[in-house]
Structures are given as structure tokens and as C-alpha cells.
Structure 1
Amino acid sequence: MHSSNDQAILIIDDDHELSQMLQAYLQGMGYTVSVAQDGKAGLQAATTEHFDLILLDVMMPEMDGFDVLKHLRVTHTTPVLMLTARGDDYDRILGLELGADDYLPKPFNHRELAARIKAIFRRLALTQHTQTQQDLQVNGILLSSARQQVEVNGTPLTLTGTEFAILQLMMTQPGQLVSKQEISQRALGKKLMAFDRSIDMHVSNLRKKMAAVASDDKIKTIRGSGYLLRTAS
């Protein structure tokens, strides 16, 4: 298997030239990089081999990026960075709703891609670093850092890595406002960008998953500021 500093990335994109360019660029940064040229092959690779991150293009023949992500999220929480057409807000929102960790509009700058990849790996390192901490328990939610598991009222929830990191951060400060800036820096590992809706989408997904097993809304939105985890229903 891969050593801890030898992170494996899978690129799923039907643009042959771009994929080869990205592969060479990311390998130059020390990552192990595999390429799948279509959605079906990509899903097969993503579910049978180990990857630390998947770069997933939206527009592909046969099986598009959204279908790949839908199928992948049934069994795997591997971080996914979606590559979307510039200016298509709908694509980005749908990608985040389906459990993508972040998105980058095409065409993009290679340095921006590298920064996003590093941010995702930083976030993974942050959650793994806190694994030594004891379990957190607030208002019927039990979060185990060591096992990377969450239960609400005794029912296990399947969360993406980003959702887990956001919930973990809020559970360390129950009943207190956690600003979007703090969530972005500490849970996502990157600075908050203007007009970035991704935190709202991740929190909305988290809410939906909790609402499926609990009758009370455990997260309160503080308009324009951030979120607060309620300490009692």
C-alpha cells in the first residue's frame, strides 16, 4: 500500500490531454496519480483500489460525474474535488449536495488546484490528528474521533470527511457561534472565499442526515455569521 506521505490521487476525466498534463504536474509534486478516462472505469477504480482523493469531472459520456459520485457515496467517503464548468452554479450545488468535498471551475490555474488539494489533505490531517481525543457527546450526538464515527440518538450516520470535520468542530464548542471563517480555516483547511456557498451546503447536508434520525433541529443558523450547535432540544 501507499506510505502515509505518498498520497494517491485518482483523476476521472475524459479530456485525455488535460488528464495527462494534470497527472504529470501532480506526480511532480510527489503524489501517486492514476487516470480513468470515463465515469464507469473511474467508479470501478475508486471502489476497488485505495485513493486518498478523487478529482472528478462533471461532463463525461456514458456516466457523468454526478452519477459516479452518487454511486461512490453509497460505500465510500473518499474526498472528492469536482471539476465543473465555469459559471454553472447548479453543477456546483448539486455536486456538494451529493457529497463532494469541494469544487473547482474549469478552466483553472494549476496552482489553485494544488492549493485545493493541499487544503483537503490538511483537513484530513487535522481530523486524524484529533483522533487521540476522547469521544464528544452533545444533545444526543456521539462523535468518536478515533473510529471516525457519528451516532445520533443511537443511530449511526454516514458522513463525508468534510461533514465529519465540521460537526467535530461545532461539537468542541457546543452552544457557541462558530463563524464561517473558522469553519473554513479549521474544518476545511482553507481561507473563506467571498460568495462561497460550500459551507452552507455541507451544513445543509449534515442537517438532512440528522433530521432523518432525530426530530429536533440540532444546528442553528446565525444569519450572516455562522452556525451554533444546540446543547438541548
Structure 2
Amino acid sequence: MTATSVLLVEDDLSLATWIRDFLQTKGLQVTHLATGDQAMAEWASLEPDVILLDLMLPGVNGLELCRHIRQHSEVPILMLTAQGEEFDEVLGLELGANDYLIKPIRPRALLARIHAVLRQNTTSLANNDVAQLHFGLLMLDRKSHRVQLNQYEVPLTSNEFQLLWLLASRGGQVVSREDVFQSMTGREYDGLDRRVDMLISSLRRKLQDDAAAPRRIKTIWGKGYLFVTDAWDAL
């Protein structure tokens, strides 16, 4: 059985050495790169199963690198950021990061997050039987991550598409926040993380839904979210 391959992009050499040594004792294969420029040039050829990506890097920074990788691959990305750094959680997730960790990093938490994003990615690939969904003027193509509304392309981030597909594939059913979070991240909802709310707001804006009185993607208070299947016949 091939070991899980991890690409660690981190300029703090002492931290990188600790992470590499710890993960290797857990059976993971780790490649370390110290700059964003190195990672930009080499990540694709390394074909990692998961990427640990520091926010503040020499050269190309973590957010720029995350954006570049996500344009070419669905490899899970965990952002690493120090307490006090100006990390925009919304921007990081919109650019396609699957999750993030605040330094100082706890070993068990790091390993748990890696396993969670790997499980989530495996589940997404396994549930890829249906290629397209159609609701009135809305079309979702899972293979290409394309969305069209009234024959116009709707640009979505990886996380936005993942959430929209999840809700649309269960159209007409209320999906709990806990189920959404579990599907999106591979771990249980902690009651504090607001990423789902932020992604829902972004989807409503891009899909021309009224934020004040949504009729396409509704919030059912105390229960979850509802994708309304018959609300896409007219703009």
C-alpha cells in the first residue's frame, strides 16, 4: 500500500523539520519546500495527496499559491497560519483551501485534519456517479465544476461548487448545518465555524438569489439549508 504523500510548504525550518519527522513516524511520506516560488514550480510534478501550505512565504505567498493550485487540481489544501497574522478566513476558503490550522500546531490536531480532508476528498470522488444536475435554467456539471444559469457561466470557487452540488443533489430536502460541515470538511461541526454561512451568502449573490428573502437556497432556522428545486425556471 502506497504511503500518503504530503507536500509541506513552510519557510520556518525548525517547524518544518518537526512536522516532517512527526508525520513520517505516522507513516506519511513528506516532501518539504521552503518557498512559494519552489512550490509553484514543483508541486504538480510531486503529485501530493495533500498540501500543507504556510500563509507567509518568501516569494509567492500562500494565498497566491493556493489560488494557482486550485485552478489546476482538487488536491486537499490545509493552510497554516500563526496567531496574530492577518489571515482572511473567508478569502482563504474562497480561494479553495479545504481547511486551516492556527500555529502553534498541535500534533494530534494536525494529523486529524489531514485525515479529515483526505476522507472528504475520497468521499467526493466515490460519489461521482451523477455527472450533471439540471433545474430549470440551472445546470451543474460535476466533472468540469461548471455552473450555468440561463446559459451564462457562473464562476464558483471549489468550495462554493462543492456546497452547491451537495445541496442540489439533495434538492427538496433540508440538509442540516452539521451534515453540510461534515461533508465539506470531513470532521464534526464545532458550533463556531462560520464558513458554511459565508459560502451560502456567496452562492446566493452569484446565483441571483435575494439575500433578504431567498427563494432558491433557503435557510430553515434551527434545521439547516434547503435547495428549492422548482425556483430556477425564471430569473
TM-score interval (norm. to shorter): 0.7 to 0.9
Aligned match of 1:171:
168
Aligned match of 1:199:
196
Query: Where does the alignment leave 5 or more consecutive residues of structure 1 unmatched?
Result: none
Which of 109, 116, 119 is equivalent to 1:119? 116
Structure 1 contact 13–38 (Cα < 8 Å) conserved? yes
Q: In the aligned structure 2, how far is the partner of 1:119 from the partner of 1:29?
A: 15
Aligned match of 2:104:
107
Aligned match of 1:228:
226
Aligned match of 2:75:
78
- Give 1:183 deviation, angstroms: 0.6
- Give 1:219 deviation, angstroms: 2.6
Aligned match of 1:44:
41
- Give 1:182 deviation, angstroms: 0.8
Q: In the aligned structure 2, how far is the partner of 1:129 from the partner of 1:198?
A: 24
- Give 1:225 deviation, angstroms: 4.8
**TM-score, with normalisation over the residues of structure 2?**
0.80
Change beyond 3 A, Cα 1:202–1:6: farther
Which of 47, 50, 55 is equivalent to 1:53? 50
CA RMSD of aligned residues (A): 2.7
- Give 1:121 deviation, angstroms: 0.8
Q: Which runs of 4+ in 1 moved over 6 A?
A: none
Aligned match of 2:91:
94
Structure 1 contact 87–105 (Cα < 8 Å) conserved? no
Change beyond 3 A, Cα 1:32–1:163: farther
Q: In the aligned structure 2, how far is the partner of 1:194 from the partner of 1:104?
A: 17
Tell which deviates more after alignment, 80-89 or 29-38.
Answer: 80-89
Residues 139-178 of structure 1 mapped to structure 2, 5 A cutoff: 139-145=136-142, 147=143, 149-153=145-149, 154=151, 155=153, 159-160=157-158, 162-178=159-175
**TM-score, with normalisation over the residues of structure 1?**
0.81
Which of 3, 23, 28 is equivalent to 1:31? 28
Structure 2 contact 181–189 (Cα < 8 Å) conserved? yes
- Give 1:116 deviation, angstroms: 0.8
- Give 1:18 deviation, angstroms: 1.2
Q: In the aligned structure 2, how far is the partner of 1:118 from the partner of 1:139?
A: 38
- Give 1:23 deviation, angstroms: 1.4
Residues 178-197 of structure 1 mapped to structure 2, 5 A cutoff: 178-197=175-194
Task: Tell me the secondary structure at the aligned position of residue 8 of structure 2.
Answer: strand
Task: Tell me the secondary structure at the aligned position of residue 127 of structure 2.
Answer: helix
Change beyond 3 A, Cα 1:27–1:72: same
Identity %: 34
Aligned match of 1:19:
16
Q: In the aligned structure 2, how far is the partner of 1:202 from the partner of 1:32?
A: 33
Structure 1 contact 8–51 (Cα < 8 Å) conserved? yes
CA deviation map 1:116-159 (0-9, x unaligned): 111111111111121234643334443455x3634323537564
